[in-house]
């Protein structure tokens, strides 16, 4: 996301208070257009993994650009429908068996069976219909073990050695497996995507009705200046070569789908916050800047040791090594842990914050509002705002009122 100026951040604070999420329409649209240009040789569908950021305003923007939806729960299906997506543009890929599967099928929502049990349940309801299956090809990758969704240490998808059982269930219920899905995690290495494509196509070769393959998401983008980002042109060239080679030897020209989340929204969002206190632990200790944002809005650092850029928008002041922490009574509420190690501190060299300074936490468009520890210490959910190309700030979601924190209590 283009950096917010001090004046822009001040307007956010004046109108909406802090902390507040701010998304940038131009940045979101640019990321979507880059992904839509993925070089698929035989047809292409771009699905947005809406778990990254299910804001109605973000969903509507992507619907207008022609994206489809990857939904991870029944609840996400409902939110996508509410945002105007056609049922046929939504595919449900969930760890949980769906208690609303009959309703989804009646509407025309696509289903991706992620376990043998899910496939069996689908077959009982939808005999003779088409279906997608998610396979674990035996390969996984990720920036941390917690973002790895493939290989033997992952519960996602049907283990590739059980393909025979998949075929048996399909035959029992007269199902046609026309879509094949895999998702290995998150990374930037084109060779990994090449291997993933090849392993997925090896499975497709044994499923003669498959017409589409979905390689999932996990196209990493660097939030920090020194972090790499996935080169979709490079990755796409490898994938295109594999699909073309498969067509030449098998005769099938397979339609390609991918379903990025982080790639589309991560750098399209920031959190505008205020420094509310500055303390230190002596000459041999640390300087701590306490912000009114932290794990309630940006949980990733506490969970993964993930790194987010932080900019102090103050007036002058000397530089210092600063640890940024959040408002919660929780020792893990740290915004600047060591990379990949949420239990170690990693001070940032920044202008020393002063109480009242505006602070912007970048890279907050993905897995921040969606994965926040809402209401811990009873902090209300922060508002979401869209910055339009002309600089206008448009409210997407109001700040939660304190009464809403307890309104469901009996």
Which among 275, 328, 329, 368 is annotated as catalytic? 329
Q: What distance in Å separates the CA atoms of residue 85 and residue 240, rounded to the nearest whole number?
A: 28
Helices marked H in 205-330? 232-250, 262-265, 300-304
- Burial letters 361-374, b for 16+ CB under 10 A, else e: bbbbbbbbbbbbbe
Pairing of strands 287-291, 158-159: unpaired
Tokens representing residue 149 in the block: 């969704």
What does the DSSP assignment read for 33-71? HHHHT---TT-EEEEEEGGG---HHHHHHHHHTT-EEEE
Strand partners, 359: 273, 312
Helix or strand run (H / E) with residue 361: strand 358-361
Say whether 98 sits in a helix, a strand or coil. Answer: coil
Q: What distance in Å separates the CA atoms of residue 351 and residue 318, rounded to the nearest whole number?
A: 6
Tokens representing residue 295 in the block: 């794990």
328 is catalytic: no
Give the max Cα distance, the chain: 73
Catalytic (active-site) positions? 329
């Amino acid at each position: 996301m283009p950096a917010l100026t001090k004046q822009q951040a001040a307007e956010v604070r004046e109108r909406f208070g802090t902390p507040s999420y701010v998304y940038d329409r131009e940045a979101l649209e640019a990321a979507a257009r880059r992904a839509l240009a993925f070089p698929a040789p035989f047809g292409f569908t771009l699905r947005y993994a809406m778990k990254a950021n299910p804001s109605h305003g973000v969903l509507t923007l992507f619907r207008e650009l022609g994206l489809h939806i990857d939904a991870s729960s029944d609840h996400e299906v409902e939110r996508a429908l509410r945002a105007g997506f056609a049922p046929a543009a939504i595919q449900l890929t969930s760890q949980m068996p769906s208690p609303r599967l009959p309703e989804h099928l009646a509407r025309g929502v696509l289903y991706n069976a992620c376990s043998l049990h899910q496939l069996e349940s689908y077959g009982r309801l939808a005999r003779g219909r088409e279906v997608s299956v998610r396979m674990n090809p035996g390969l996984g990758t990720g920036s941390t073990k917690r973002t790895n969704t493939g290989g033997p240490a992952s519960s996602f998808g049907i283990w590739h050695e059980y393909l025979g059982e998949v075929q048996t269930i399909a035959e029992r219920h007269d199902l046609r497996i026309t879509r094949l899905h895999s998702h290995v995690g998150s990374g930037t290495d084109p060779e990994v995507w090449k291997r993933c494509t090849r392993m997925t196509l090896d499975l497709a070769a044994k499923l003669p009705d498959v017409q589409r393959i979905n390689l999932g998401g996990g196209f990493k983008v660097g939030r920090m200046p020194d972090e790499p980002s996935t080169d979709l042109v490079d990755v796409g060239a490898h994938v295109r070569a594999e699909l073309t080679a498969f067509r030449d030897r098998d005769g099938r020209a397979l339609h390609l789908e991918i379903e990025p989340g982080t790639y589309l929204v991560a750098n399209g969002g920031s959190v505008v916050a205020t420094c509310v206190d500055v303390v230190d632990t002596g000459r041999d200790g640390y300087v701590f800047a306490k912000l009114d944002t932290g794990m309630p809005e940006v949980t990733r650092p506490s969970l993964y040791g993930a790194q987010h850029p932080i900019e102090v928008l103050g007036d002058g002041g000397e530089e210092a090594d600063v640890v940024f922490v959040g408002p919660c009574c929780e020792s893990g509420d740290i915004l600047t842990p060591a990379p990949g190690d949420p239990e170690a501190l990693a001070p940032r060299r920044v202008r020393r914050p002063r109480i009242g300074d505006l602070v912007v936490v970048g890279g907050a468009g993905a897995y921040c509002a969606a994965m926040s520890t809402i209401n811990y210490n009873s902090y209300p959910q922060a508002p979401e705002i869209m910055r339009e190309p002309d600089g206008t700030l448009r409210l997407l979601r109001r700040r939660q009122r304190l009464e809403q924190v307890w309104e469901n209590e009996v």
